[in-house]
Amino acid sequence: MIETRNLRHRYGGDDGPAAVDGVSLSIADGEFVVLAGPNGSGKSTLVRHFNGLLDPDEGEVLVDGTPVSEDLVAARTRVGMVFQQPRDGFVAATVGADVAFGPENLGLPREEIDRRVGEALAAVNMAGRRDERIDELSGGERERVAIAGALAMDPGHLVLDEPFTGLDAPARESVVEQLRALRDAGTGVVLVTHDLRDALELADRIVALADGQVAVDAPPAEVRERLPDLGIRVPPASERESPVPGRESTSPEREP
């Protein structure tokens, strides 16, 4: 369980505007939450509190009932993060070495590290590719390696911040499939996006931010009509129900 209680975050000291402005949320184990909202609404700032990458100015964040500030290691073990455009986020040259980095830092025995790396790569359809160089992979494959790196920590919740940015339609579809499989295996997922094309049918719940506050928090079916008013693109029903890979490769609202 991830909980925020009246969480407030200001960049630039006490006088700065609140990027996250009094957010109270509970995310249950195994829940698939899509965190939506227009550019600058506070999504990335909010999720960076889930494992202590940022400190609250007010309020608190708890993971499994323990304040993140009291046990940073527990929060980071329990909540895995995959950042936007992971191109710069890799720490090793090869797939296997990169995915092993987190478990190695936990000080786990070599056999356990190997087991975790194998399972994590299998979960993202990258089994047998440990020795490949990351700089020779496609964007979608890199994204999957980044997800595997987070999975190797055996997290209860996986947080992905705009994982579809820069991916073409087949690569997006592949990442969506991995997320669906994770959800079905019981891993909680928090998917940050301002574009719901790929996400709506996966979500148990949509949380939409506006100006750092929760504007909507409800199951997808209940919120569809309200999202466009918040600047959130909602796919037409036909697009959601029968996605055709390759049909669209750009979105006017996607970031450059």
Ligand X SMILES: Nc1ncnc2c1ncn2[C@@H]1O[C@H](COP(=O)(O)OP(=O)(O)OP(=O)(O)O)[C@@H](O)[C@H]1O
Q: Write out the residues near ligand X by the rule CB under 6 A.
A: 11-12, 19, 37, 39-45, 194
| H or E stretch at 230 | none
- In the bound state with ligand X, the residue whose beta carbon lies nearer, of 9 and 205, is 9
Tokens found for residue 105? 């830092």
Q: State the DSSP H helix or E strand holding residue 222, giving kind and residue range, or none if neither.
A: helix 220-223
Which DSSP symbol is given to 87? Answer: G
Give the SS3 label for residue 19: strand
Q: How far is the CB of 40 from ligand X (least distance, A)?
A: 4
Tokens 């996607």 identify what position? 254
Comparing CB distances to ligand X, the nearer of 15 and 241 is 15
* 254: Cβ contacts below 8 Å, ≥ 6 apart: 165, 195
CB of 203 to ligand X, least distance (A): 17
Query: Residue 15 CB, nearest distance to ligand X (Å)?
Result: 13
DSSP-based three-state secondary structure for 85: coil
Question: Between residues 14 and 184, which has the closer beta carbon with respect to ligand X?
Answer: 14
For residue 255, the minimal CB distance to ligand X (Å) is: 7
Q: Least separation, in Å, of the C-beta of 138 and ligand X? A: 23
State the nearest-atom distance from the C-beta of 236 to ligand X, in Å.
Answer: 22
C-alpha to C-alpha distance for 129 and 97, rounded to whole angstroms = 11
C-alpha to C-alpha distance for 74 and 78, rounded to whole angstroms? 6
CB-based contacts of 104, cutoff 8 Å, min separation 6? 113
Q: Which is nearer to ligand X, 116 or 172 (CB)?
A: 172
Structure-token pair, residue 22: 């009094």
Which CB atom, from 96 or from 212, has the smaller least distance to ligand X? 212
- Three-state secondary-structure class, residue 72: helix
Q: Which residue has the tokens 């079916």?
A: 221
In the complex with ligand X, the residue whose CB is nearer, 11 or 133, is 11
